[in-house]
Amino acid sequence: MMKKPCSLAVLQIIPKHHHLLPVGLVKALAILDEGGHPYGFYDIERSPEPDFRSALLQLLSSIKEETVLVSMACHNNYPKIESLIFLYLYLPLLKDKKVIICSAYFSLYETSLIQRKNVVFSPLDIDEYVAKHMGAPHLTEEVFGQRLEEALTRYGYQNYRFWGYLTFGCYAKCSFCYNRLPFEGAPTITQRPPDAVLQWMLRAKRFGKTYFEFCEPNFISDRPLVEAFLKRLKQENPGVTWRCKTRLDDMDPDIYSLMTAAGCRTIFLGVEHVDLALLRRIRKGENSAEKLAEFLKYRRKETDIHLSFMMGIRGETPSALRRNLEMVLKIGAVEGMEPNIGWQISFNRRNRAPAVPNYIIPFMFIMNFLPSHMEISPALMRDILVMCRQEPFFDFWCMTESQESLSLMQHLAAFLKSRPQQKVIRDYDRLLSYEGGELTKLVLKSQTLEDLNRSVLSMAGVR
């Protein structure tokens, strides 16, 4: 029998983030193979090219098939920065192909900007799309589950971490948040059936994966659901350990006990700032430093704590930044505590106060969000800066509400330089040493924000 010609390419553009299993992609590949549908697989993770931009461009130019099925955000379903870069910068390179982009999270993108005749946006994740259009009828969820181990080995994902959601969304309204869905609407929380989550965790354990990751933005967003789930988890899956993220004001000794009894060993909490007035400004809705102090009184050593802090909030002064940095250093000196500090991003343009550009911010953003094993070339930064300046949707990458963004950056650079031995704040190492420290020099020597912006654009070759 003649082999069917291969006309489908599966394109995977998200490099691994923390080794989280891209289960939707694995399932899509398994469905295609089970159904005897030939396809070419183009995976950025398998590229020998270390630079992200070159790897992506080489991948796109090597596609021979006529139809390209793009797997987006498949590592934990959050839209990743790579998907923004691909969609808005490099998708036009596939103009001669039919491109089907699969994501259940398009509400986070501005798809009207990238509508093209050759592009179809599917609101289904890639496995659901493939099942619907090319499905192998015998590859049910149950059969896939039974064959999962073999599939993970076949596609090279046996060392990845299992993860899942019990809920998605958040009831809070922090102004900087990009987790809420839909992006511009009222906060909503969707629930997944606890049975399905428990089954998935048990399946992971059968492969020897006893460490699980809950990826929802706020694990305790629906307390009754979570309490019932934790009681079942403790009973039905003893020995499993896991990580989650949650809001500090949802924590108390009772829920903490339930969580630890059910295997929670790492909690990610957002503190953001020690200054209460600044927290109010970002609608954080809790005195998180105070809440953290309360939590630390009953936290036990078995729980590792990851904490996020933020700079660049409107009204933040260098002295407020210093207090926050001192707090980060103090907390980071405690065993089992791991803080990080990011720059506030003004995603939600409806609610943001007057903003001004600072072209160092896209560098901060890219260097903190692209996985550290991928290199970031000046060519990628040039493309991104050009896009930030041309396309209003993208101005969240460079605009800041902070009136003192230059002095905050100068203060940060000086603070870190004066503490070369500290090992707690590592978030800006990549930025400060980029191109032999060129960006740091520009930050430190600029007299005004306009000076800084001019110099950054000129260094990047943007006119």
Phi, psi of 271 (to 5 degrees): -100, -45
| CA distances (Å), origin 264, targets 219, 261, 285 | 11, 7, 25
| 320 forms part of the interface with ligand SF4 (CB under 6 A) | no
| 180 forms part of the interface with ligand SF4 (CB under 6 A) | yes
**In the complex, what is the shortest distance from the CB of residue 250 to ligand SF4, in angstroms, rounded to a whole number?**
9
| 270 forms part of the interface with ligand SF4 (CB under 6 A) | yes
| 346 forms part of the interface with ligand SF4 (CB under 6 A) | no
- Comparing CB distances to ligand SF4, the nearer of 127 and 272 is 272
| 79 forms part of the interface with ligand SF4 (CB under 6 A) | no
Is the distance from CB of 13 to CB of 82 less than 8 angstroms?
yes
Is the distance from CB of 255 to CB of 248 less than 8 angstroms?
no
Helix-, strand-, coil-residue percentages of the chain, each rounded to 5 = 45, 15, 40
Tallying the residues shown for the chain, one arrives at: 463
CA 361 to chain centroid, in Å, comes to 17
The span of 112-120, 177-185, 199-207, 298-306 binding ligand SF4 (CB under 6 A) equals 177-185
Token pair in block for residue 246: 């949650």
Is the distance from CB of 391 to CB of 382 less than 8 angstroms?
no
Q: Contacting ligand SF4 (CB under 6 A), which of 167, 218, 405, 410?
A: 218
| 226 forms part of the interface with ligand SF4 (CB under 6 A) | no
Q: Map the footprint of ligand SF4 across residues 247-266, applying CB under 6 A.
A: 247
| 174 forms part of the interface with ligand SF4 (CB under 6 A) | yes
| 108 forms part of the interface with ligand SF4 (CB under 6 A) | no
Amino acid 313 reads I
Token pair in block for residue 409: 């950056």
The span of 166-174, 188-196, 232-240, 405-413 binding ligand SF4 (CB under 6 A) equals 166-174
**In the complex, what is the shortest distance from the CB of residue 317 to ligand SF4, in angstroms, rounded to a whole number?**
23
| 288 forms part of the interface with ligand SF4 (CB under 6 A) | no
The span of 82-90, 170-178, 309-317, 368-376 binding ligand SF4 (CB under 6 A) equals 170-178
Give which of 443, 211, 427 is closest to 339, Cα–Cα: 427
Q: Contacting ligand SF4 (CB under 6 A), which of 11, 29, 84, 170?
A: 170
